[in-house]
Structure 1
Amino acid sequence: MINVNDLRPGVTFQMEGNIYVVLEASHSKQGRGQANVKAKVKDLRTGSTTIKSFTGGEKVERAMIDKVGMDYLYNSGEAIVLMDQETFEQIEIPLNHVEWEINFLREGQKVIVRKFEQEILDIELPTNVVLKVVSAPDAVKGNTAQAAQKKVVVETNYEVETPLFIKEGEEIVVSTETGKYVGRA
C-alpha cells in the first residue's frame, strides 16, 4: 500500500478496479484540518486523465507495472504489431489503444510496452522522435508579421507546424507529448 502523501509523478496505483499513473500531485494543508492531496492521474486502460482528491493519510494499492522493450514492426490496419527484443515474440495492440502514439511510430522504432500482470496497457514513446518531412509547401514571401509557421506532413501522415525554412526530405524532431516541432534533426 502507498500513502497518498507519497504520490509523485510516475507512481502507479490501483483504485476501484482501475490502474492509474500519477502525472502531477499537489499537497495542501489548511489550518488544523488534515492535508489534502490532489493528483492528476491517467487511467492506463482507457488513456483518460482525471483529477483524484484524497485526504492525507489515505492509502492506495500499488500497481506493479512491467516495462518490456519492443520494436514496432508495422500497422496491420486494425492493430499495431510489436516484437519483443529478447524472445522475438510478436504482440498486437488495437489501434484504438494507441491513437495518439501512432502519429510518431515508424518501422523499427524501439518502444516500451507497459504490462499489468499479463494485460497490455499501453506503449511509452521517447519524449522526442525524429521524423522525415514528406510534404512541405513553399514559404509565401511577405508572410512574416509574426514568427511565421507552415504546416508540413511527416512520414507517419501527422501534420506539424514548423518554421518556414523546413523543406521536404528534411528530418525534424517532434515532441511525442505535445505533437509540436522541437527542432531540426
Structure 2
Amino acid sequence: MRFFRLFIFNNTYDADNFYAKKDTDWSACKSMMNRVSCCFATKECIGNKIYFGFRNNNIRKGLDVKIEIVALVDKNSTVDYKYAYSINNDTNVELTYSISLDNQNWVEKTLRSGYLQNFSLEQKEIYFRISSPNNKIINYKLTPNERYKIFWNVKNECWDLNRY
C-alpha cells in the first residue's frame, strides 16, 4: 500500500517554496501524514484560496491524486450574496491589490498570473486599489456583476483595471 503526505497552504509564498523543494522555507497551515484517504474541515479556509501539495513516500512509483472539495453551507445563514465581482490577472506576473467595502479599510489580495478571483458579497459597492512599481496608485469603485482584468497601461506606465 502506498501512502502520501498532504500539505495545505493558504498563501502562495509557502506553496511556491514547497513546490520548489525549499523545505526549510515554508510552513503548511495543515498537514496529514501517511494517509491513503483523508477528510478535514476548517474555518480558517472559508473565503480563502488554498493550495494543496503532495509528497509520495515511495519516490520510485508515481502518485495518482483525486481531490474532491465539498462546500458546506450554513443553513442558518440569512446572508444573500447577490453581488458578484470577478478580477482576472491578465499579466505575466503575480500581483498584489487591495479591496475595500468603504474606501477606507483595505484588505490585501494576491493574484497569480493568468488566474481569476471571484467575490460574492451582499454589499453593492466595493473599491479596488493597486500600486505599480513606480508607486503610481489607481483606485476604482467597481460595478457589481461585472468582470474586470488587470493589465499594464503602457501610456500611463502603471497597473490598471478595465471591464471586459
The structure with more strand, counted as a fraction of residues: 1
- Larger-gyration structure (1/2): 1
Higher relative contact order (CA 8 A, sep 6+): 2
Give the TM-score normalised by structure 1: 0.22
Give the TM-score normalised by structure 2: 0.24
